[in-house]
């Protein structure tokens, strides 16, 4: 029998597995993106989401697409980083920018295809500017939470 501190909790807990850590990371990202998306939908007329359920599903889709974008960007950067020279360094940064910027158009089209008029970003260039503002805010919020969490130790 495991010793307990107060009869309710064990004195020591098992370390979380990699799968548990991954789940918590993505679960937290979805919740952060959900909050950011709903705040923009409530306070900025350029962002429209028809319901909470739709915003939850959109947040999940956004997390998946943003993580895929970052994975692609890292693979391309690793490819150019292996090669020496100033041109390869330029290509690494240029391609990273291209992937990160171009992915917003893919994300916008994915939102349109999946949700239609239930999720809309309105404004210049078919709403790409408000989408970029929302996505950058999501990334900043996720990074701020991660930094806050790391300072707790």
Mean pLDDT lowest among 1-5, 62-66, 117-121: 1-5
Over 90: is that where the pLDDT of 18 sits? no
Q: Which two tokens stand for residue 128?
A: 């790409």
Residue 102 lies in a domain: yes
- Predicted local distance difference test score (pLDDT) of residue 118: 94
What residues does 47 pair with on adjacent strands? 121
- Predicted local distance difference test score (pLDDT) of residue 115: 92
Residue 11 lies in a domain: no
Residue 6 lies in a domain: no
Residue 74 lies in a domain: yes
Residue 52 lies in a domain: yes
Report how far residue 77's alpha carbon sits from residue 12's, in angstroms, rounded to the nearest whole number.
Answer: 41
Report how far residue 149's alpha carbon sits from residue 12's, in angstroms, rounded to the nearest whole number.
Answer: 21
Residue 44 lies in a domain: yes
- Give the count of domains, the chain: 1
Over 90: is that where the pLDDT of 44 sits? yes
Residue 50 lies in a domain: yes
Residue 4 lies in a domain: no
Domain that holds residue 81: 18-151
């Amino acid at each position: 029998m495991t010793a307990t501190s107060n009869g309710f909790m064990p004195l020591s807990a098992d370390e979380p597995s990699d799968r548990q850590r991954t789940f918590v990371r993505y679960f937290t990202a979805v919740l952060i993106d959900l909050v950011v998306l709903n705040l923009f939908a409530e306070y900025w007329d350029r962002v429209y989401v028809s319901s909470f359920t739709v915003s939850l599903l959109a947040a999940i889709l956004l997390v998946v697409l943003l993580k895929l974008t970052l994975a692609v960007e890292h693979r391309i950067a690793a490819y150019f980083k292996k090669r020496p020279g100033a041109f390869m360094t330029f290509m690494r940064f240029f391609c990273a920018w291209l992937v990160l910027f171009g992915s917003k158009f893919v994300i916008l089209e994915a939102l349109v295809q999946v949700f239609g008029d239930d999720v809309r970003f309105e404004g210049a260039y078919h709403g790409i500017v408000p989408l970029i503002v929302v996505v950058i805010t999501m990334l900043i919020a996720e990074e701020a939470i991660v930094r806050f969490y790391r300072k707790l130790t």
